[in-house]
Amino acid sequence: MPLRKLGFLTIGLFDPADPGPGHETTLQIIELGERLGFDSAWVRHRHLQFGISSPVAVLAAASQRTSRIELGTAVIPLGWENPLRLAEDLATVDVLSGGRLNPGISVGPPLHWDDVRGALYPDTADAEDFSYARVERLLRFVRGQHATLFRGREGIEEWSDRVEPHSPGLADRLWYGGASRRSAEWAGDHGMNFLTSSVVKIDAGGFQRPDFARIQAEQITAYRERHPHGRVSQGLVVIPTDSASPDQRRRYQEYVEARLPRTREPQGSAQLLFSPDLIGTSDQLAEQLHAHAGYQLVDEVAFALPFSFEPDDYLQLLTDLAERLGPALGWSRAD
Say whether pLDDT at 45 is over 80.
yes
Give start and end residues of each alpha helix (H) in 143-281: 181-189, 212-226, 246-259
pTM over 0.85: yes
- How much is the average pLDDT of 45-63? 97
pLDDT of residue 118: 98
pLDDT of residue 203: 76
Q: pLDDT tens digits for 111-138?
A: 999 999 999 999 999 999 999 999 999 9
What integer best gives the mean pLDDT of the chain?
A: 96
Count of residues making up the chain: 335
**HSE (CB half, 13 Å, CA atoms) of 109?**
12
Q: pLDDT tens digits for 176-203?
A: 999 999 999 999 999 999 999 999 998 7
Per DSSP (E only), the strands in 124-277 are 152-154, 157-159, 175-177, 193-195, 199-201, 232-233, 238-240, 272-274
Give 15's strand partners.
18
Q: pLDDT tens digits for 4-42?
A: 999 999 999 999 999 999 999 999 999 999 999 999 999
Is residue 270 within 8 A of residue 201, CB to CB? The reply is yes
Q: Per 3-state DSSP, what percentage of the chain is helix, strand, and coil (rounded to 5)?
A: 45, 20, 40
Say whether pLDDT at 238 is over 90.
yes
- In percent, how much of the chain has pLDDT > 90? 93
pLDDT of residue 208: 58
- 155 CB neighbour count, 10 Å cutoff: 5
pLDDT of residue 209: 64
Domain segments of the chain as ranges: 5-328
Of 48, 93, 115, 270, nearest to 178 (Cα)? Answer: 270
Query: In degrees, to the nearest 5, what angle opens at C-alpha 66 toward C-alphas 64 and 67?
Result: 100
Characterize 166-186 residue by residue with b for buried, 16 or more Cβ atoms within 10 angstroms of its Cβ, and e for exposed: bbeebbebbbbbbbbbebbbb
Say whether pLDDT at 204 is over 60.
no
Query: What fold does the segment set 5-328 form as a domain?
Result: TIM Barrel (3.20.20)
Which band of pLDDT confidence, cut at 50, 70 and 90, is reported for residue 99?
A: very high
